[in-house]
Chain A
Amino acid sequence: MKKTLEVLGMVCPFPLIEAKDAMQQLQLGDELEVQFDCTQGTESLPRWAAEAGHEVTNYEQLGEASWTITIKKNA
Chain B
Amino acid sequence: MLQMAITGIICGALLGFVMQRGRFCLTGGFRDMYIAKDNRIFYALLIAIAIQAVGVYALIGFGVFDYAATPFSLWATVIGAYVFGIGIIFAGGCATGTWYRAGEGLIGSWIALAFYMLVAAIMKSGPLGQFTTTARSNTIGTDSMADTLGINVWWLIGLLVVIVAIIVFCELKKPRVKIPGLKPKKTGIAHVLFEKRWHPFVTASLIGLIAIIAWPLSAATGRVFGLGVTTPSANILQYLVSGNLDFINWGVFLVLGIFLGSFFGAKMSGEFRLRTPDTKTVVRSGAGGVLMGFGASLAGGCSIGNGLVMTAMMSWSGWIALIFMILGVWTASYFVFVRPAKQKMAARAQSSANA
Contacts and interface: CB of A to CB of B under 8 A. Distances in A.
Contacts of B272: 64-65
Given A9-B275, A9-B277, A65-B104, A39 B92 contact: no
Contacts of A10: 281
B246 interface: no
Contacts of B266: 39, 65
Contact of A61 (B32, B270, B278, B281): B270
Given A11-B277, A12-B92, A43-B197, A59 B271 contact: no
A30 interface: no
Interface residues of A, number: 27
B198 to A, nearest CB: 10
A4 interface: no
Please classify the interface of chain B as helix (H, G, I), strand (E, B), loop, or mixed, using the class held by over half of its residues: loop
Interface string A1-40: 0000000011111000100010000000000000001011
Given A11-B106, A13-B31, A40-B25, 18 more contacts: A9-B277, A9-B281, A10-B281, A11-B92, A11-B277, A11-B281, A12-B28, A17-B337, A21-B344, A39-B23, A39-B271, A49-B180, A50-B180, A59-B180, A64-B271, A64-B273, A65-B104, A65-B266
Q: Closest 6 A-B residue pairs measured CB to CB? A: A65-B273, A56-B180, A50-B177, A64-B273, A46-B180, A11-B92
B219 to A, nearest CB: 34
Q: How large is the interface on B (under 10, 10 to 19, 20 to 34, 35 or more residues)?
A: 20 to 34
Interface of A: 9-13, 17, 21, 37, 39-40, 42-44, 46-47, 49-51, 56, 59-61, 63-67
Interface centre among A9, A59, A67 (most CB of B within 10 A): A9
Interface of B: 20, 23, 25, 28, 31-32, 35, 92, 101, 104-106, 108, 177-183, 197, 266, 270-273, 275-278, 281, 337, 341, 344
A17 B275 CA distance: 20
